[in-house]
Amino acid sequence: MISERKVNSLDEENNAAVKPRVRFAPSPTGRLHLGSARTALFNWLFARGSAGTMVLRFEDTDRERSSEEFEKDIMDSLKWMGLDWDEGPDIGGDFGPYRQSERMPLYREYAEWLLEKGMAYRCFCSPDEIKKRKEETIRRGMSWRYDRKCLGLGESEVMKFEKEKKPFVLRFKVPEMVVRVEDLLRGAVEVDSSEIDDFVIMRSDGSAGFHLAVVVDDITMKITHVIRGDDHLTNAVRHVMLFDAFCEKPPVFVHHSLLMGPDGSKLSKRHGATAVSEFREQGYLPQALVNYLALLSWSPGDEREIFSLEELVREFRLDDLSASKAIFDFDKLNWLNRQHVKLLSGKELAEALVPFLISSGLEEIARLPEEKLVIAVESVRNNIEKLTDAIEPLRIYTVKPGDLSDKAAEELKKTGDVREALETCIEILGSASDADEKTACEIVERMRNVAAQKGWKAKKILWPFRLAVTGRTVGPDLKFLIMFWGPATCAARIKETLGFLEDSVS
């Protein structure tokens, strides 16, 4: 079976038009980390920009720490970012299954092939024995590598262990060679294999070791480009040896720089949010997050900074990735989020805000007819850096008529002649139930003009108007209040407030 596969891949080598096949291969042992999301994004941009195939593969060999819940978080977060895949555990594909835990027979087959060819061997050393020998070696001031004790086992010893059913692992017999990893970003990295342990390819419980599983998957899934973080660069050395052992050409490697916190260490909890879903909960837009992640190691070669996903697909080139450190800058992300908020239409912004309104107990606003919701949202748009910033300002639209904040009531009472100002407002507002933007602006303008005629400062009428309609001292531009409630309702609200003033005077 293995040699059959080799023939197939040789056929493909001769076919110059092989389409790229990339994979995003997270371990579902946590929520989707921003660093992994960046890896997914680079893979996806490359696949979509080159008519290639994007594969999602769960590397869930750590059964203790992997969970369905994390798989779901990873898939939901990718979808939220706008990233999709052509093959994966949820949708299948020609090269499945797409969970490593379901591919164990395949790994065993490959491992046994290596064993047969003398490129792997059984190791019966228990973890305790290894620990002791390791400690002893270190005590003698030497560095530890598996000492190949079991490589030299005689047949009778092997038989004895087998009879005793002594557990064993399979180790790859690292050949003597200079291993060359060709990386698109970093050039060729050469490592003398004498620095490398005979690593475990099958564990004693029959599950595959990480390196074997990755390489067998990349071979059998016909992956052409491996794009991942540079924490895997040292693993690539082992992978190249395995590809060699299986007589397969390694894929093109692209080890991009890791995502670092502002202090230069790997982005982690102590820097703040790290999971994509946390950024989502905090009110970042997916397009801003994606834009930011792309810009962290990639630039179009000019000054532009705002990109949509479609533009990124068009312009992204793997060769333009920078190998230098990617330092996460929350201020820059916030700035980009603000820019992407500005690009949204009122309707889009309203849609994005609805889940936040609901989770903040503002269903009343979330369920408004669309045109009302859009007016409300437009009125607070300039306050928004993150979507959550809109919640407090939008509460103004839940204030009931005459429901004055203490501060507003105090201010109203302090303002002399407030009655005349408010009665003037009622007159100007009139009895129309609706006002479009133009009419609302005209009403505000009339208030200013009438104030001027009466020899008042504009503030003398506009200030009590805001207090009386919204019950608050600060809030959106007045035109939005008129558009939201309509002139007649604004007038009714002012009457309520006048009633309150009378009550409090009597």
> What does the per-residue mask of binding to ligand GLU show for 372-411, with x meaning CB under 6 A?
----------------------------------------
CB of 232 to ligand GLU, least distance (A): 5
CB of 186 to ligand GLU, least distance (A): 16
Tell me which amino acid residue 325 is. Answer: K
| Residue 9 vs 27, nearer CB to ligand GLU | 27
Q: Does 60 bind ligand GLU (CB under 6 A)?
A: no
Task: Decide: residue 105, CB within 10 A, 0-12 exposed, 13-18 middle, 19+ buried.
Answer: exposed
| Residue 59 vs 183, nearer CB to ligand GLU | 59
Size of the chain in residues = 506
CB of 65 to ligand GLU, least distance (A): 11
CB of 29 to ligand GLU, least distance (A): 8
Q: Which two tokens stand for residue 219?
A: 């071979």
Q: Of the candidates 6, 9, 18, 27, which one interacts with ligand GLU according to CB under 6 A?
A: 27
Residues 232-291 that bind ligand GLU (CB under 6 A): 232
CA distance 255 to 233: 6
Q: Does 26 bind ligand GLU (CB under 6 A)?
A: yes
Strand arrangement of the beta sheet that strand 169-172 belongs to: 120-123, 169-172, 200-202
CB of 27 to ligand GLU, least distance (A): 4
Instruction: Give the total of residues touching ligand GLU (CB under 6 A).
Output: 7
Q: Does 25 bind ligand GLU (CB under 6 A)?
A: yes
Residue 364 CB-half CA count within 13 A? 10
Q: Which residue out of 249, 269, 347, 407 is catalytically annotated?
A: 269
Question: What residue has token string 């506009």?
Answer: 462
Q: Are 468 and 494 in contact (CB under 8 A)?
A: yes
| Residue 136 vs 231, nearer CB to ligand GLU | 231
CA distance 284 to 385: 8
Segment interacting with ligand GLU (CB under 6 A) among 21-29, 63-71, 331-339, 346-354: 21-29
Q: Are 252 and 258 in contact (CB under 8 A)?
A: no
CB of 472 to ligand GLU, least distance (A): 49
Segment interacting with ligand GLU (CB under 6 A) among 22-30, 302-310, 313-321, 397-405: 22-30
Buried b / exposed e across 374-404, counting CB within 10 Å, b at 16+? bbbbbbbbeebebbbbbbebbbbbebebbeb
Tell me the β-bridge partners of 259: 326
Q: Of the candidates 214, 384, 425, 492, which one interacts with ligand GLU according to CB under 6 A?
A: 214
| Residue 62 vs 420, nearer CB to ligand GLU | 62
> Angle at Cα 487 formed by Cα 483 and Cα 492, nearest 5°?
125
Which contacts qualify for 350-353: CB closer than 8 Å, 24 or more apart? 350/374, 350/377, 352/285, 352/387, 353/377, 353/387, 353/390, 353/394
CB of 258 to ligand GLU, least distance (A): 11
Q: How far is CA 325 from CA 229, 276, 321, 413, in A?
A: 11, 20, 11, 60
The torsion angles phi and psi of 251, rounded to 5 degrees, stand at: -70, 175
Segment interacting with ligand GLU (CB under 6 A) among 19-27, 159-167, 308-316, 370-378: 19-27
Segment interacting with ligand GLU (CB under 6 A) among 20-28, 347-355, 379-387, 426-434: 20-28
Residues 96-135 that bind ligand GLU (CB under 6 A): none
CB of 125 to ligand GLU, least distance (A): 27
CA distance 153 to 159: 10
| Residue 62 vs 348, nearer CB to ligand GLU | 62
Residues 217-236 that bind ligand GLU (CB under 6 A): 228, 232
Active site residue 269: yes
Interaction site with ligand GLU (CB under 6 A): 25-27, 59, 214, 228, 232
Give catalytic residues, as residue numbers: 269
